[in-house]
Structure 1
């Protein structure tokens, strides 16, 4: 099969600082050995990804996840005759510190390092691809991208056998009520975990731990739930589903349809017809 010239395109997240996504098609290009200051989470989409890292050579087939820790030296090129297609998300360590700490059940996670480089894990792959989709299509809100990052982090910690979903912590109800009130008052805005935890006067780490312990879901899930409930009320007044989707931060009508149906068993349009006729 004839190879075409290599193509690279970078996308900066509009919502999460220091989050960049690369979409690449490689045939006639080879990376020199180098290292990034960020964590790198990638998925091989087509062809084969051959590279050196951690003192050994690796071959990544389509569907496989590749993960590099900060400062981990590697190179890369297309293996075989087919053009290599892959995506890679680069995230600064400070953007993930609280997420790793929460998943590890510690107040401070230090610098988490995965022992795995090639990872055949469908759940991790899906989380990375969801993050890539949100950034490259410039859709959704900050909380959507943070949730995708949270899924990546928790899956890596689970694979390391160090995931701690609980933890014995106090439950300052009044502070968490501040957080809930803030979320409800800003459903149409692009809120972040930093915004919500500051409203609760808690560090991001403590906020994540306390919120999940008390309410049984993550703040990301709670925000989404509140947006769905608000959207339902808007639909009952006759608001156009597409307008409702945009108002409450869903990536598009298709994304809104999927999320709504998971809770109410029907699409927003079907729900609206059922309550207004």
Structure 2
């Protein structure tokens, strides 16, 4: 049976600062250049794609995370003849900035762009997939989901900040 070509959207009114999309068969999906008001992170689940972020072009494949700062023009599309599946999460930048400040990852209260477009790290990739599955689970409470979100993004941004040398 072929995976659905229709994206699955997850939202929860108890967690209005996060939205998740899952696409299991994106071979026919094509995105024009666009941007989001939110900070976004995605995981390539299957296949290979071309990721353009601002003026930087990346080839990404299963195992890669892609990250987009708010209002940065980008597009991600499957490579020719490649299967393509992914998760894409959008986070409210004010919520994320507040979390990073409260967790002492950053010493500023407003949003500051992250410096990487892509990350290939088995632990962060696997943990992101687990986070996405947790969000979509009907067995996990909104409070538990929020805690998993917070833990993941504190860990991720602590790592990203250590690479950039800034706080």
Query: Which TM-score tier does this pair reach, normalised by the shorter chain?
Result: 0.7 to 0.9
Task: Name the residue aligned to 2:160.
Answer: 159
CA distance in 2: counterparts of 1:105 and 1:7, whole angstroms:
38
Secondary structure of the residue that 2:112 maps to in structure 1? coil
Cα distance in 1 for residues equivalent to 2:140 and 2:13: 10
Structure 1's 139 and 88: CA in aligned 2 closer, same or farther, altered over 3 A? farther
Greater helix percent: which structure? 1
Higher relative contact order (CA 8 A, sep 6+): 2
- Structure with higher Rg: it is 1
SS in 2 for 1:153: helix
Q: Partner of 2:11 in structure 1?
A: 12
Q: 2:77 matched to which residue of 1?
A: 77
As a proportion of its length, which structure holds more strand? 2
Partner secondary structure for residue 115 of structure 2: coil
Kindly tell me the number of residue pairs found equivalent between the two proteins. 161
User: What is the aligned-residue RMSD (CA, Å)?
Assistant: 2.3
Post-superposition, which runs of at least 4 consecutive aligned residues in structure 1 deviate over 6 A?
none
Deviation of residue 14 (structure 1)? 4.7
> Partners of 1:51 and 1:105 in 2: how far apart?
28
SS in 1 for 2:114: coil
1:1-277 → structure 2 map (5 Å cutoff)? 6-24=5-23, 25-101=25-101, 102-106=103-107, 108-150=108-150, 151-161=152-162
Structure 2: any 5+ residue segments left out of the alignment?
Answer: none
When structure 1 is superposed on structure 2, of 39-48 and 78-87 the one drifting more is 78-87
Distance in 2 of aligned mates of 1:19 and 1:4? 25
- Whether the aligned pair in 2 keeps the contact of 1:4 and 1:83 (CA below 8 Å) is no
Show structure 1 runs of 5+ residues with no match.
Answer: 165-277
TM-score by length of 2: 0.84
**Aligned partners of 1:27, 1:5: CA distance in 2, in Å?**
11
Separation in 1 of the partners of 2:104 and 2:75?
A: 30
